[in-house]
Each structure stands twice: as structure tokens, then as C-alpha cells.
Amino acid sequence: MKRGIVMMGVLALLLGAPPMVLAQRPLTIRLGVDGAVQGARDVIAIRQGFFKQERLEVDWRRFGVGREGRDAMIAGAIDINATATTPFLIGLEKGVPYAAVAVNSYFCGTNHIVVRKESDIQSIAQLKGKRIALARGTVTEYIFAAKIAPAYGLKPGDYEVANVADQKDRIPTLIAKAVDATGIGDPYVAIAEHEGLVRSLGDFCKYDALPFVATVTNKVIKENPAGVVAYLRGWLRAVKLLKEQPEKAAEVYWQEQDAAGRSVPVSVLDKTLRRMRWEPEITPEIERYLADQAQDLLKGGGEGRLNSIPDISKALNKELLQKAKAGL
């Protein structure tokens, strides 16, 4: 009996059964979602069913920083992840087989240096001799060391960096007075400000736009390009919601924050999301940015983390985003 059913299926194919019969199986992607506001478009796409509309099943995991997602890619645990440019470049030099397929966001307006609200520190210049919580190997640490600290006359050795990898741990570390300041992004900044715990010394936009790039393993690009395109289509639907219906987008993002135990009014998250720039194209400006940052890291920017310049051009894939846009 089973053999007969199989033969009927084969005959149906041979006799011209519609090809869409085979295409109904959902595509699958393993996704890393950033726990900070850079992960908002993924959260929104998941909660609004935008990936499912593209017949894409998403198996997702949350990471505290983009670097952790990159390391999960190295371990073969996920297929797609968004990360800042510094860990992206470090990964390329180390031979991580991945490519940037889009710009997740520009997040300088949501990334701040903050102190306790009652602190007498009023300027970054006053951080001399102080402890600052940052995450080693991240763009936040790099920009602080290479651009922000020098702008206030601070040299390496003038301050101590406490390596606090996960952003959710930095405000508690600050409040416990284990550090004097921290570099941290939204929604953690917005929530701590709302609760009256911290005061910002300023965001990063004066010093760097802080692009966040969406990366995909080369294996998945080769073996499952349709899945990547479907992911990007769902992702672009989320961008449209963020731009055209920001209040609704904030409500959806609030649901995720509330489920994670972070209680904050929707209006606070709405303000936070509006501080982001959602421009997905890999532009010539982004290519120059990556080349310039690689040179800085080679020369010794931050901690001089690059020993050689990786071939950035081979790690940029613009075609998949264009296919995704054409399908909307």
C-alpha cells in the first residue's frame, strides 16, 4: 500500500503536477537576536508573523551582544546574526566564513556613557582614574578608546576598563558601585533613566554613527539562499512598520520587553526606537567606513586588534537584499 502511494506521487510529478506542491515546505533559519534595541526588527518580525508570511520557520536565540552571536556562528549554532563592525572585522581576520548582507541599523543615538544619577561626574573628562564597564572586543569599547576618551584628553591607562560582556549586567554593576560609569545601549539606558537610576553623559553620534551589520554564514548563503531572502523580506516588513507605524512597532517591542521582565511604559520604548536609523543598504559609505576602521584597528585603535587587513569586499553580499526588496 505504501509503495502504491509513493508511486502515485512520482507519477503526479512526471505528469506535470504543479511545482508549488514542492515549494510549500517552509524554509528554516537559525537566528541570533540581539538583546539590545538593535534586535527590535527581529523581535517585531517574529511577533508580527512577518517571517511566517514568507513561509520561513525561525529558530531564534537571544544574545547579550553581537559578538556572542558571531561566536555562535563560528560554533555552527546559528545561521544569521547582527553584529557591530568591530567584531565583524575581527571575525573576518580570524577566518570566520560569513558575509554581511545588509545594515541592521545605525545605533549611535541609543548608545550612551552613563553614570549613577547621584554621581558628581558631569563630564567624560572626569573619568580619569575611574572604572568604566564596557565589553571587550565590541565597537562600544573601540569607539570609546579610539575617539571619545581622546576627545576629552584621556589616554590609555588614565582609566580602567571593567569587562562586563552582557549589557543587561552593566546597570546593576554600576548601581552596585563596582564601576563609576558604563557604556550601554537602549533599551537598558531608557529603562534605567525612567527608573531614576542613571544619568547620561552623552550619546555616541558626535563620534561615530555605529552601524550594525546583518551577517550570514557562507554555508547558508550557498545552500539556502532562498531562506536568507525570505528572512530579509520579513526583516524589511519590520522596517516598514518601524518607519510608517512607529507607535505600533513600539507596542510590539514592549510586549517582548514585558515578557523579559523589563517593565517600562510603551512611550519610553517609542522614544528609544525613534533614536535608531533603519537604513538597510550596504552603501559605498559603509564600505569606506569598514576600510577606515580596519586601518585604525591595524594601527592600534582601541587595542590594535587586527594583525592584517581582511578582504572586506569579498565579505559583502548586496545581491540577497536586492532580491528581497524585489519580492515585496
* CATH code assigned at 161: 3.40.190.10
Residues 86 and 228 in one domain: yes
pLDDT > 90? residue 129: yes
Residues 85 and 124 in one domain: no
Highest-confidence segment of 80-84, 230-234, 291-295? 230-234
Q: Are strands 198-203 and 111-116 parallel, antiparallel or unpaired?
A: antiparallel
pLDDT > 50? residue 4: no
**pLDDT tier at 25, thresholds 50, 70, 90:** low
Answer with the residue of higher pLDDT: 76 or 300: 76
pLDDT > 50? residue 60: yes
pLDDT > 60? residue 2: no
> Mean per-residue pLDDT for 276-291?
96
Residues 66 and 116 in one domain: no
Which of 170, 203, 236 terminates a domain? The answer is 203
In a domain, 94, yes or no: yes
Residues 237 and 307 in one domain: yes
And the C-alpha cell for 218? 557562507
- CB-based contacts of 267: which residues, under 8 Å, 6+ apart? 250
Residues 98 and 157 in one domain: no
Q: How many domains does the chain have?
A: 2
Tell me if 67 sits within 8 A of 83, measured CB to CB: yes
In a domain, 95, yes or no: yes
Residues 149 and 245 in one domain: no
In a domain, 16, yes or no: no
pLDDT > 50? residue 122: yes
Residues 182 and 321 in one domain: no
Residue type, 181: A
Residues 102 and 219 in one domain: yes
> Mean per-residue pLDDT for 227-252?
96
Q: What is the mean pLDDT of the chain?
A: 89
- CB-based contacts of 26: which residues, under 8 Å, 6+ apart? 55, 56, 57
Q: How far is CA 229 from CA 67, 71, 143, 145, 306, in A?
A: 23, 23, 32, 37, 31
**Element spanning 3, H or E:** helix 2-14
Which of 203, 232, 251 terminates a domain? The answer is 203
For residue 139, give the nearest of 172, 90, 179 by alpha carbon.
90
pLDDT > 60? residue 6: no
210: left (phi over 0), alpha (psi -120 to 50) or beta: left
Residue type, 75: A
In a domain, 215, yes or no: yes
And the C-alpha cell for 77? 549554532
Residues 216 and 275 in one domain: yes
- From the centroid of its chain, how far is CA 72? 14
Residues 66 and 95 in one domain: yes
**pLDDT tier at 320, thresholds 50, 70, 90:** very high
User: Which structural domain, as residue segments, surrounds residue 160?
Assistant: 109-203
In a domain, 3, yes or no: no
pLDDT for 24? 52
pLDDT > 60? residue 316: yes
pLDDT > 60? residue 191: yes
In a domain, 30, yes or no: yes
- CB-based contacts of 120: which residues, under 8 Å, 6+ apart? none
For residue 187, say if its preceding peptide bond is cis, omega within 30 degrees of 0. yes
Query: Residue ranges of the alpha helices (H) in 95-180?
Result: 139-143, 149-151, 170-175
Which of 203, 220, 249 terminates a domain? The answer is 203
pLDDT > 60? residue 281: yes
Residues 140 and 251 in one domain: no
SS3 78: coil
Residues 267 and 292 in one domain: yes
* CB burial string 2-34: b at 16+ within 10 A, e below: eeeeeeeeeeeeeeeeeeeeeeeeebebbbbbb
pLDDT for 17? 42
In a domain, 96, yes or no: yes
And the C-alpha cell for 284? 559605498
